[in-house]
Amino acid sequence: MSGKVILGAQWGDEGKGKFIDIFSSQADMVVRSQGGNNAGHTVIVGENVYKLHLIPSGILYSGTVNIIGAGVVCDPKVVLAEMDGLVAKGISLDNLYIDARAHVIMPWHIELDGLSEEARGKGDIGTTKKGIGPCYMDKSERSGIRMHDFVNPRKFEAIVREKGALKNEIITKLYGKAPLDIDAIVEEYRVYAERLSKFVRDTTPMIYDALKANKNVLFEGAQGTLLDLDMGTYPYVTSSHPVAGGVCIGSGVGPTAINEVVGICKGYTTRVGKGPFPTELDDEIGEYIRQKGAEFGTTTGRPRRTGWFDAVIARYTVRANGLTSIVINKIDPLMGLPKIKLCVGYEMDGKVTRDFPADLDDLARCTPVYEEFDGFDEDLSDIREYDKLPENLKKYLARIEEVCDCPVSIVGVGPDRDQIIYR
Ligand code: GDP
Ligand code: IMO
Ligand code: MG
């Protein structure tokens, strides 16, 4: 079988969109397994910039089958708006499918995401407020709405009224806020359900058949390993499983379907939202990287926190995902810095560790152990051969590879799909 996984190896926004797009051009099928429209993947094709949140990037290639898998939480309004935007750019939706098991994000999920964040006060998570957590909560509690029910005209209204009434109890009684207008939701969402109906089906046989026939199946990751519900920096995580294992659960395939797992990193580290970040640069270097790398959220527009590359994290994600290779993307924003630092360990209570701690209180006590490299001033944007990269940069990349114990397969030198260097 020939399944390839592309996933985020840091805290998301590593530039997965660009690589998913590059690999989609060779794929027969692209499958999204988890997350929802908290994801924002930028794909630049010539003059066109696509910001995809739910629809797999393979949609840009005619003939590629695109699947929104069972593990995704799907906001009907958002997915329809995304579909309309693509159609307006002349892109066909003929090969797009949504798994019948996918859960539906309803207005109360979005409302409750905002209310629970507000209630957490200073201890908020910094979610995207897209209703992701509350929708996955309902799924785990076994009270969510799945696509097959949502698009079933015989079930739609009763189910929306029943769930909506219950959520209004929570909104009014627990949070003391005004109830949502369920009549209006029924009318609005009925139209969405009718429009989505033709895309919904059991996609698992399609994926299985494609794998059996040795077609190229690409599993498109969203978020990043450190945002994983179990493996990430809990509770500052998302509510799904961005690690490679999440692909199996969220697409309905077994681990034997996957033979390649590519982890995307940036040449530095970023995160949006709250939570500890050992190599964070709260200074002019951090600001330099933010500006050079245009580190502002695709989904929320928030400035991303920036810091040095953390090889403790990278080693951890190599393990947690069984990475077969790493991509070091966005190396170009480091141009012009006299020195580049690489975190190779953490010092905690006078001891050095190379393992990423499970307990956030421990992580907060960690200070990075850095190795320092001379920077580079060369413009990388037109370089396409590894050997032509500045010597100082090659030393930095070689050390990353060594510390992470995983080969670097590709280096990214700019946002365009051709601005990559294969090793
Ligand atoms: P994703 O969520 O992992 O798909 O990443 P985002 O799309 O949220 O953020 C990555 C941003 O970096 C986008 O604006 C990309 O266009 C841009 N980008 C991707 N690769 C590179 C690169 O190698 N260099 C630079 N400078 N920008 C890049
Ligand atoms: P892509 O796919 C970066 C972060 C949020 C917040 C935490 C929980 O573009 O890399 P949620 O709304 O999921 O409950 O928020 O997770 N987060 C992301 N950060 N990139 C993403 O996706 C993210 N999706 C969620 O900022 O800290
Ligand atoms: Mg993003």
Q: Which atom of ligand 1 is nearest to the CA of 14?
A: 3
Q: Would you state the torsion angle of the CA atoms of residues 212, 83, 246, 31, taken in this order, to the nearest 10 degrees?
A: 20
Both tokens of 324, joined, read 């077969």
267 lines ligand 1 (CB under 6 A): no
Spacing, Cα 295 to ligand 1 middle (Å)? 8
The token pair that represents 284 in the structure block: 């002019």
Residue 147: burial class (beta carbons within 10 Å; 0-12, 13-18, 19+) = buried
Q: Whose CA is nearest to atom 15 of ligand 2?
A: 127
Q: Measuring from atom 27 of ligand 2, which residue has the nearest CA?
A: 273
Cβ-based neighbour number of residue 190 at 10 Å = 15
For the residues of 93-127, what is the DSSP string, one character each?
Answer: -TTEEEETTPEEP-HHHHHHHHHHHHHHGGG----
Catalytically active residues, by annotation: 13, 41
Cα(30) to centroid(ligand 1), Å: 19
Does any ligand 1 atom lie closer than 6 A to the CB of residue 295?
Answer: no
* Atom in ligand 2 nearest the alpha carbon of residue 132: 14
Q: Which residue lies with its CA nearest to atom 18 of ligand 1?
A: 415
Q: Tokens in use for 179?
A: 């109830």
**CB 239 near ligand 1, within 6 Å:** no
Residue 411 has phi, psi (to 5 degrees) of -120, 135
pLDDT attached to residue 88: 95
* Domain pair 103-197 / 263-422, same fold: no
Q: Alpha-carbon distance 185 to 4, whole Å?
A: 39
CATH 3.40.440.10 fits 3-99+200-261, yes or no: yes
Give the closest residue to 334 by CA, choosing from 297, 374, 296.
374
Tokens matching residue 170: 């929570």
Rounded to an integer, what is the distance from CA 11 to the centroid of its chain? Answer: 8
Cβ 273 under 6 angstroms from ligand 1 = no
Q: Whose CA is nearest to atom 2 of ligand 1?
A: 13
Residues 383 and 393: their CA atoms lie apart, in Å, by 13
State residue 283's pLDDT score.
97
Task: Please give the number of the atom of ligand 2 that sits closest to the Cα of 273.
Answer: 27
Residue 404's nearest CA partner among 305, 341, 327 is 327
Cβ–ligand 1 contact at 332 (below 6 Å) = yes
- Report which residue type is found at 130: K
Query: Under 8 Å CB-to-CB from 22, ≥6 apart: which residues?
Result: 417, 420
Instruction: State the distance from the centre of ligand 2 to the C-alpha of 69, rounded, in angstroms.
Output: 19
Q: Is the shortest distance between the CB of 21 and ligand 1 below 6 Å?
A: no
Other beta carbons within 10 Å of 63? 9
Instruction: Map out the domains of the chain as residue ranges.
Output: 3-99+200-261, 103-197, 263-422
Measured from the alpha carbon of residue 291, the closest ligand is 1
Of all atoms in ligand 2, which is nearest to the CA of residue 8? Answer: 10
**Which H helix or E strand runs over 323?**
none
Of 404, 394, 379, the closest CA to residue 324 belongs to 404
pTM: 0.97
**What's the CATH code, domain 263-422?**
3.90.170.10
Q: Which of 22, 42, 60 to mutate to test the pocket of ligand 1 (most atoms within 8 A of CB)?
A: 42
Give dist(CA 253, CA 123) in Å, integer. 37
pLDDT at 5: 98
Give the per-residue pLDDT at 142: 98
pLDDT at residue number 166: 98
CA of 304 to the centre of ligand 1 (A): 12
pLDDT along the chain (423 residues), means of 10: 94 95 94 97 89 94 95 98 96 97 98 98 95 98 98 98 98 98 98 98 98 97 98 97 98 97 98 93 97 90 95 98 98 98 97 96 96 98 97 97 96 95 94
Ligand nearest to the CA of 266: 1
Closest residue by Cα to atom 23, ligand 2, is: 223
Residue 212 phi/psi, 5° resolution? Answer: -60, -35
> Using CA atoms, how far apart are residues 355 and 49, in angstroms rounded to an integer?
38
Residue closest via CA to ligand 1's atom 6 equals: 13
Domain spanning 103-197, CATH class: mainly alpha
Closest CA to 74 of 45, 95, 96, 43: 96
Atom of ligand 2 nearest to the CA of 41: 9
